[in-house]
Chains A and B, each alone.
Chain A
């Protein structure tokens, strides 16, 4: 059904993304594409992949932002973004066919590709741009939170996490039940001040982002500067070289 579940899901599976750790390597996006090319919403169509104007469906995209601050200077923040599996998902309620739905058992938002008419309205309703239309299949596609991986009994227990989480080389992505305040991810969010993207859009996203930690600037608030090779405390050879070159 298009309406949101009558009983709001107690279990809210989602991701916690640590912007302090992410190095912007795009491995999560690549493994997402790899797993989902054979997964629940396969294929992840590419149009003209080797042509002049390649374009295709991705469930996860890594943006990089520059944050300017006169006092503390600028910093670059790598910013992975995929579906946030919102509590109040507008992409679900606008769907005229019921193809777009939110699961009552774990809060995952999915598209039933057999019912989707490809009207694209759900992608308009999502403030985050989490949905991408597959021109070839004529249906909307989106992150499934690897629903076909996280419950897969054929996989070893530790592999039952979304592809983006299992592949992240620096551990910037965590997966778990954000509806349970005692879960590891909920504790992590509480400890690090995890936040919602665009709370003013009132979608109540499940996924949380952890802010970058304050930047360290030297010992006394001054960035270390380059110093001359030789001063009075330099070693014998350095002083000798300095003397030789200064002559």
Chain B
């Protein structure tokens, strides 16, 4: 599948934004957030910039961005529509809770706690909807499975944790329990990614050139001549192919950047003093940003669509 930059940016940025937002709200409800106004303020600001920036960028790849509001109408059947609706809905409880957290901490604590929990659930559901846009597409074997929603949720949480560590460090504190939690999630993320790639390399679509043409009973089927001499939309959009040697390198960048390097840097941050810890947490976030964008690029580039079977692919 063709990796569109706007969609890669949207899914990684909004995922990180929702992850951070959930942690800020949950952390405050559980009384684990330091009572630092500017820490919380920058936290919410970063979350909303990432979420809104991501949503905005997702409209860039549309043919008619001015009609994007129409995408809110078909939530009964469409995961893309559900994602749009949930993304907008999530602003309400999380925004209310952010205002409460920042400015009216003493008012209606019980009720606002409930609003916060609803906000966290809405944010999680939004990320789940994003993942289901892909996981619901049966023609794409790499996407149509349970690893995909698990991964989207896991990576959103992971990038949220990495962001929160950096924010704490910028305001002069570190939180050992948060660093340990980040290590745990990085470890789980690494295992998840390896399991996903093993699945991807060890399996293929149930559809074949034989089932695509229905000619299997006559023998093995391969394309003799394509319909046109030039590439068409289907080949460019769905037939995107990545060289195996490149994919191996990019997988390595993903593993190192998104998981291994941040893991080591956060381990180091536990040993260092405040400045050293801060630097290694920032570096961990930067490495993860590179790794996660590469991960999302590969998520598209490595996915094969059944339409390829009509254009010479031996499997999908």
A interface vs B, CB < 8 Å?
1-3, 19, 26, 29, 53-58, 61-70, 72, 74-77, 79, 81, 90, 92-99, 115-121, 123-129, 132-135, 137-139, 195-202, 209, 211-212
Q: Is B170 an interface residue (CB 8 A)?
A: no
B80 x A94 contact (CB < 8 A): yes
CA distance in complex: A99, B78 (Å):
12
A72 x B238 contact (CB < 8 A): no
A119 x B80 contact (CB < 8 A): yes
Across the two chains, which residue of chain A brings its CB closest to B222? Answer: A66
Give a binary string over B29-72; 1 marks a CB under 8 Å from any A CB, 0 the rest.
Answer: 00000000000000000000000000000000111110110111
Q: Is B201 an interface residue (CB 8 A)?
A: no
Give a binary string over B209-240; 1 marks a CB under 8 Å from any A CB, 0 the rest.
Answer: 10111110111111111111011111001100
Q: Is B254 an interface residue (CB 8 A)?
A: no
Across the two chains, which residue of chain B brings its CB closest to A199? Answer: B211
B interface vs A, CB < 8 Å?
1, 61-65, 67-68, 70-74, 76-81, 84, 133, 136-140, 206-207, 209, 211-215, 217-228, 230-234, 237-238, 305-307, 310-311
CA distance in complex: A148, B225 (Å):
32
B213 x A132 contact (CB < 8 A): no
CA distance in complex: A61, B72 (Å):
34
CA distance in complex: A219, B194 (Å):
59
**Contact partners of A1 in chain B: CB under 8 A:** 74
CA distance in complex: A64, B310 (Å):
9
Given contacts A55-B231, A75-B218, A97-B74, contact A118 B63 (CB under 8 A): yes
Across the two chains, which residue of chain A brings its CB closest to B67? Answer: A117
B206, B223, B233: the one contacting A63 at CB < 8 Å is B223
CA distance in complex: A229, B224 (Å):
36
Identify the interface centre among A64, A75, A117: most chain B CB within 10 Å of its CB. Answer: A117
**Contact partners of A99 in chain B: CB under 8 A:** 70
Across the two chains, which residue of chain A brings its CB closest to B307? Answer: A129
CA distance in complex: A198, B308 (Å):
13
B230 x A54 contact (CB < 8 A): yes
B228 x A95 contact (CB < 8 A): no
Given contacts A53-B230, A67-B219, A98-B73, contact A125 B137 (CB under 8 A): yes
A133 x B79 contact (CB < 8 A): no
Closest CB of chain A to B269's CB: distance in Å? 41
Known: A96-B71, A124-B137, A139-B63; 19 extra A-B contacts, CB below 8 A, are A2-B74, A54-B230, A65-B222, A67-B218, A67-B221, A69-B218, A70-B219, A74-B219, A94-B137, A97-B73, A115-B67, A117-B62, A117-B65, A119-B63, A123-B238, A128-B310, A199-B211, A200-B211, A212-B215
CA distance in complex: A119, B133 (Å):
12
Closest CB of chain B to A131's CB: distance in Å? 8
A61, A64, A117, A121: the one contacting B68 at CB < 8 Å is A117
CA distance in complex: A120, B236 (Å):
13
**Contact partners of A138 in chain B: CB under 8 A:** 62-64
CA distance in complex: A116, B225 (Å):
33
A96, A123, A199, A202: the one contacting B80 at CB < 8 Å is A96
A209 x B138 contact (CB < 8 A): no
CA distance in complex: A129, B214 (Å):
16
B70 x A119 contact (CB < 8 A): no
CA distance in complex: A133, B232 (Å):
10
B64, B133, B209, B306: the one contacting A118 at CB < 8 Å is B64
CA distance in complex: A1, B75 (Å):
11
Across the two chains, which residue of chain A brings its CB closest to B239? Answer: A129
Closest CB of chain B to A7's CB: distance in Å? 16
CA distance in complex: A137, B231 (Å):
19
CA distance in complex: A21, B204 (Å):
33
Given contacts A94-B136, A118-B64, contact A123 B227 (CB under 8 A): no
Given contacts A94-B79, A96-B84, A201-B207, contact A117 B64 (CB under 8 A): yes
